[in-house]
Amino acid sequence: MANDHNHTDGSLEDDESDIELIESGTTPAAEASPAEKGHQETWRTYAPAVISLVLLLGGLTFDHFVKVESTDAPMRFQWFAGPIRLAWYIVAYLPVGWPVLKRAWSRIRQQDVFTEFFLMGVATLGAFGIGEYPEGVAVMLFYTVGELFQDAAVMRARRSIKALLDVRPDQVTILRNGKAQLVQAANVAVGEVVQIKPGEKVGLDGTMRSDNGSFDTAALTGESVPRTIRKGEAILAGMINRQSVVDMDVTTPYQDSKLSRILKLVQQATGRKAQTQEFIARFAKIYTPAICGLALLITLVPYFFVADYRFQDWLYRGLVFLVIGCPCALVISIPLGYFGGIGAGSKQGILFKGSVFLDLMTQLKIVVMDKTGTLTKGVFNVQEVKPVGMEVGQLARLTAALESKSTHPVATAILAYADKVYETLLVEDVEEIPGHGLKGRVDGKDMLAGNAKLLRKFNVAFDELLTQIPFTVVMTAIDGQFAGYFTIADEIKPDAAGAVTSLKQDGIRTVMLSGDKAAVVEAVAKQVGVDEWHGDLLPEDKVAQVEKLKAINAGEPKRKLAFVGDGVNDAPVVALADVGIAMGALARMPPSKPLM
pLDDT tens per residue across span 308-363: 888 888 888 888 887 777 655 444 444 445 555 665 665 565 666 556 677 788 88
Q: Is the entire prediction scored with pTM above 0.85?
A: no
Q: How many CB atoms lie within 10 A of CB 440?
A: 19
Q: How far apart are alpha carbons 103 and 260 in whole angstroms? A: 34
Annotate 408-421 with b (16+ C-beta within 10 A) or e (fewer).
bbbbbbbbebbeee
Domain 171-257 falls in which CATH fold? 2.70.150
Query: What does the alpha-carbon distance between residue 470 and residue 520 come to, in Å, rounded to a whole number?
Result: 5
CATH of segment(s) 379-489: 3.40.1110.10
Residue 467, helix vs strand vs coil: helix
Amino acid at 247: D
In whole angstroms, give the CA distance from residue 180 to residue 211.
19
Strand order in the sheet with 594-595: 532-534, 509-513, 364-369, 560-565, 579-583, 594-595
**Does residue 127 or residue 22 have the better pLDDT?**
127
Say if 171-257 and 349-375+493-595 have the same CATH topology. Answer: no
Closest CA to 517 of 482, 468, 483, 557: 468
Distance CA 291, CA 288 (A): 5
CB atoms within 10 A of CB 465: 7
Give the Cα-Cα-Cα angle 144, 146, 151 (nearest 5 degrees): 90
Segment 369-413, tens digit of pLDDT: 988 778 887 777 888 899 998 999 899 999 999 988 887 778 888
What residues form DSSP beta bridges with 230? 212
Rg, the chain, Cα only: 32
Q: What is the mean pLDDT of the chain?
A: 76
CA distance 468 to 594: 34
254: pLDDT strictly greater than 80: yes
Name, in order, each residue with C-beta under 8 angstroms of 527's C-beta and a sequence gap of 6 or more. 492, 497
Q: Positive or negative, the Cα torsion across 459, 460, 463, 465?
A: negative
> What are the residue ranges spanned by the domains of the chain?
13-165+273-343, 171-257, 349-375+493-595, 379-489
Catalytic, 370? Answer yes
Q: d(Cα 416, Cα 410) in Å, to the nearest integer?
A: 10
Handedness of CA 351, 357, 362, 363 (dihedral sign): negative
H/E segment holding residue 247? strand 246-250
Helix (H, G, I), strand (E, B) or coil at 314: helix
Closest Cα to residue 588, out of 373, 348, 376?
348
Q: Which of 15, 205, 216, 370 is catalytic?
A: 370
Fold of domain 349-375+493-595:
Rossmann fold (3.40.50)
Express each pLDDT in 456-511 by its tens digit: 999 999 998 988 888 889 999 999 999 999 998 888 888 899 999 999 999 999 99
Phi/psi of residue 541, nearest 5 degrees: -65, -40
pLDDT in tens, 75-125: 445 677 788 888 999 999 999 999 989 988 998 888 877 777 887 788 788
pLDDT given for residue 380 in this prediction? 78
Distance, in Å, from the CA atom of 355 to the CA atom of 340, rounded to the nearest integer, reads 10
569: which DSSP letter? G
State which H helix or E strand residue 478 sits in.
strand 472-478
Positive or negative torsion for Cα 430, 436, 437, 442 = negative
Reference 522, options 471, 562, 475; nearest CA is 471
Pairing of strands 364-369, 212-216: unpaired
